[in-house]
């Protein structure tokens, strides 16, 4: 398996030039986020990823986590790596300094998280879940809960776990049946949860579970759910650990990939009941859950970017050394590296350009979240939160689709060797597949985008984004650079397609016998269209920045020249698919719903 090297120049370009670090550093409390400091942090993160996490990626895949005699053991080296992760302060990059965090923008934490995902996907999932728990308690926890748990969660000394799914309910959260019985100022929980990532392990002395359950006497469905803190070990008033709570891992799932990440079946209340502490108010658990889910969905989208980057680097390095066939240009005599062949180059550029688009989208949304939380103007905060809400499902689904596709192309570039486990290419494919299911399947993300985000605000945010894209595209009028001209034309077509699909979905009530079915039938294509056009817009902005840099520094600057090429490739190969996606959206439900069950 090739060594992983964080793409620092690409990451810095997005942070400093495309997103605009200066604007984020101008937010109250974020003044320390200077370019020099951010570069130092990313350089050290890159070193940690390459030297500590990446060497354990294959180890984790081969050994996996195991459950024996009630104890979950992680693969060789993971405990030491996690201790180094905590000691380095990496878990608290963007969190409140009052609780031990660094207080840097979420944009910076987003970049470090991409490095963890690329270096060691299985390992990186543990901090993702802890971040979700921090978000939950920061927003809704009591002062006592914050003082008790936030310092340990932010440091990573006590990792967190998100605990929602039950076997009979799946994604239908309203059917959850885990009970929470009041007992003074606490509750006792009884039930079983499945698919709990990092639900139990040996990396830390305590694990803090955020459990969705139904308090006795609550109404049925999602309106009766509440959220509880359920620690593996009870915590005394002085912060010391007490007895073990009545909870245990009864099984670890045997999975397609991410073998290092223990996915547990957790049982609560086999005896006297697992002690839990209510977060906020009863029957508001679904509201609280979404604060965790949105955080996790952004993080999982970023996991897609990270694993795509790792798969790309390995495929690129293989393509430069694997000799096979003749160079059609005649530049190389004899056997040529396969990177000389146009189709291999097409595959590599497909990976590279989509990674760049997904990275730009993920970082941009992270920067909007920083603005939504810290800008002094309430209207600007609301506007950017609406932007985040609209694009969260796109970041999650579109980026994870790209991650799996990149991993699949990586296997293809390796040829027969890619199908052999020893090369490592197959691990990326196996690992990447879960991201399309995590935190709500990508189909659920599409339904969320169309029903809650698009129709929910009558298309207001979609229209804002479309007009923003069109205004930028119009600014390219008259630019004589041939690459910019091609990008300009493709982006205009993409914006028109997105406008047409948006108008059709919003008008379903006027023209479809069953508007809900029609919207559901086109939802996935619509999400893909939003991702493609928004990603194309950010690639176009990158191209303009690169064009301006080339005018300043000269046409031989390889980095900026490469940015022009990848942006043009994305426009030619992916933005041109926009009208096909619009047709898929606006075709309605006739063919999708046309077969009887027996015809399948």
Contact of 229 with 276, CB cutoff 8 Å: yes
Q: What is the pLDDT of residue 412?
A: 98
Contact of 107 with 11, CB cutoff 8 Å: no
Q: What is the pLDDT of residue 491?
A: 98
- Alpha-carbon distance 237 to 494, whole Å? 58
Q: What is the pLDDT of residue 42?
A: 98
Q: What are phi and psi of 71, to 5 degrees?
A: -115, 130
pTM higher than 0.85: yes
Question: Token pair for residue 409?
Answer: 């192309």
Helical (H) or strand (E) element with 297 = helix 285-321
Residue with tokens 């990586």: 410
Q: What is the pLDDT of residue 2?
A: 63
What 559-567 contacts at long range (C-beta under 8 Å, 24+ apart), as own/partner pairs, is 559/9, 559/13, 563/13, 563/356, 564/483, 565/349, 565/483, 566/349, 566/352, 566/353, 566/356, 566/539, 567/353, 567/356, 567/483, 567/487, 567/539, 567/540, 567/542, 567/543
- Alpha-carbon distance 178 to 191, whole Å? 4
Question: Token pair for residue 37?
Answer: 């400091």
Q: What are phi and psi of 380, to 5 degrees?
A: -65, -40
Q: Which residues is 228 bridged to in the sheet?
A: 211, 278
Q: What is the pLDDT of residue 292?
A: 77
Whole-angstrom CA distances from 137 to 41, 69, 212, 280, 445 are 26, 33, 14, 9, 24
Question: Token pair for residue 41?
Answer: 């942090």
Written in H, E and C, the secondary structure of 441-478 is CHHHHHHHHHHHHHHHHCCHHHHHHHHHHHHHHHHCCC
Question: Token pair for residue 140?
Answer: 């809704």
Residue with tokens 């959850």: 176
Residue 335, SS3 per DSSP: strand
Whole-angstrom CA distances from 371 to 36, 38, 263 are 21, 18, 35
- Alpha-carbon distance 306 to 598, whole Å? 42
DSSP per-residue string spanning 354-386: HHHHHHHHHHHHHHHHHHHHH-S-HHHHHHHHH
Residue 190, SS3 per DSSP: strand
Active site includes 157?
A: no
Going by the DSSP 8-state scheme, the letter that residue 599 receives in this structure is: G
Residue with tokens 């992983």: 4
Q: What is the pLDDT of residue 512?
A: 67
| Widest CA span in the chain | 81
Helical (H) or strand (E) element with 234 = strand 233-235
Q: What is the pLDDT of residue 263?
A: 98
Q: Taking phi first (over 0 means left), then psi (-120 to 50 degrees means alpha), and beta for anything else, what does residue 280 get? A: left
Given the residues 114, 166, 303, 439, the one annotated as active site: 439
| Tens digits of pLDDT across the chain (600 residues) | 568 999 999 999 999 999 999 999 999 999 999 999 999 999 999 999 999 999 999 999 999 999 999 999 999 999 999 999 999 999 999 999 999 999 999 999 999 999 999 999 999 999 999 999 999 999 999 999 999 999 999 999 999 999 999 998 877 777 899 999 999 999 999 999 999 999 999 999 999 999 999 999 999 999 999 999 999 999 999 999 999 999 999 999 999 999 999 999 999 999 999 999 999 999 999 999 887 777 889 999 999 999 999 999 999 999 999 999 998 988 888 899 999 999 999 999 999 999 999 999 999 999 999 999 999 999 999 999 999 999 999 999 999 999 999 999 999 999 999 999 999 999 999 999 999 999 899 999 999 999 999 999 999 999 999 999 999 999 999 999 999 999 999 999 999 999 999 999 999 866 667 899 999 999 999 999 999 999 999 999 999 999 999 999 887 899 999 999 999 999 999 999 999 999 999 999 999 999 999 999
């Amino acid at each position: 398996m090739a060594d992983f090297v964080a793409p620092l120049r690409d990451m810095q370009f997005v942070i400093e030039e495309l997103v605009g670090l200066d604007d984020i550093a101008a937010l109250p409390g974020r003044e320390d986020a200077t370019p020099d400091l951010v570069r130092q942090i990313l350089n050290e993160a890159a070193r940690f990823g390459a030297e500590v996490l990446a060497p354990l990626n294959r180890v984790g895949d081969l050994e996996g986590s195991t459950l024996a005699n009630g104890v979950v053991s992680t693969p060789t080296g993971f405990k030491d790596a996690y201790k180094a992760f905590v000691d380095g302060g990496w878990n608290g990059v963007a969190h409140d300094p009052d609780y031990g965090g660094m207080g840097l923008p979420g944009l910076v934490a987003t970049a470090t998280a991409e490095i963890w995902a690329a270096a060691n996907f299985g390992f990186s999932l543990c901090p993702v879940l802890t971040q979700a728990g921090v978000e939950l308690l920061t927003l809704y926890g009591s002062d006592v809960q914050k003082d008790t748990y936030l310092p340990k969660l932010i440091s990573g000394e006590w990792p967190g776990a998100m605990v929602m799914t039950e076997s009979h309910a799946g994604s239908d959260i309203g059917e959850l049946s885990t009970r929470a019985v009041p007992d003074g100022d606490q509750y006792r929980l009884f039930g079983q949860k499945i698919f709990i990532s990092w639900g139990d392990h040996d990396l830390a002395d305590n694990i803090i579970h955020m459990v969705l359950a139904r308090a006795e006497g609550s109404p049925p469905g999602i309106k009766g759910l509440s959220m509880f803190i359920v620690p593996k070990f009870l915590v005394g008033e002085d912060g010391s650990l007490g007895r073990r709570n009545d909870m245990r891992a009864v099984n670890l799932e045997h999975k397609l990939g991410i073998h290092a990440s223990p996915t547990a079946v957790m049982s609560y209340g086999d005896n006297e009941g697992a002690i839990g502490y209510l977060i906020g108010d009863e029957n508001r658990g679904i509201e609280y859950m979404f604060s965790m889910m949105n955080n996790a969905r952004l993080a999982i989208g970023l996991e897609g970017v990270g694993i795509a980057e790792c798969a790309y680097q390995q495929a690129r390095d293989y393509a430069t050394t694997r000799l096979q066939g003749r160079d059609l240009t005649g530049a190389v005599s004899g056997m040529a590296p396969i990177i000389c062949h146009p189709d291999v180059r097409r595959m590599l550029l497909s990976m590279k350009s989509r990674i760049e688009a997904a990275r730009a989208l993920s970082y941009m949304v992270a920067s909007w979240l920083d603005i939504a939380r810290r800008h002094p103007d309430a209207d600007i905060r609301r506007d950017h939160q609406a932007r985040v809400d609209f694009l969260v499902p796109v970041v999650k689904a579109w980026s994870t689709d790209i991650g799996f596709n990149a991993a699949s192309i990586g296997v293809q570039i390796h040829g027969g060797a890619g199908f052999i486990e020893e090369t490592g290419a197959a691990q990326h494919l196996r690992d990447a597949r879960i991201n399309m299911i995590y935190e709500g399947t990508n189909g659920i993300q599409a339904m969320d985008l169309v029903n809650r985000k698009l129709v929910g605000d009558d298309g207001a945010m979609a229209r804002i984004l479309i007009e923003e894209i069109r205004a930028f595209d119009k600014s390219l009028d008259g630019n004589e650079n041939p690459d910019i001209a091609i990008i300009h034309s493709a982006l205009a077509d993409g914006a028109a397609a997105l406008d047409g699909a948006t108008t059709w979905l919003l008008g379903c009530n006027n023209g479809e016998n069953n508007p809900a079915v029609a919207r559901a039938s086109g939802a996935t294509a619509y999400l893909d269209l939003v991702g493609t056009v928004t990603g194309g817009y950010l690639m176009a902005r990158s191209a303009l920045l690169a064009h301006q840099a080339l005018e300043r520094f000269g046409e031989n600057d390889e980095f900026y020249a490469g940015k022009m090429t990848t942006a043009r490739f994305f426009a030619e190969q992916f933005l041109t698919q926009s009208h096909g996606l619009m047709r898929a959206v606006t075709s309605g439900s006739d063919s999708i719903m046309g077969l009887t069950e027996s015809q399948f």
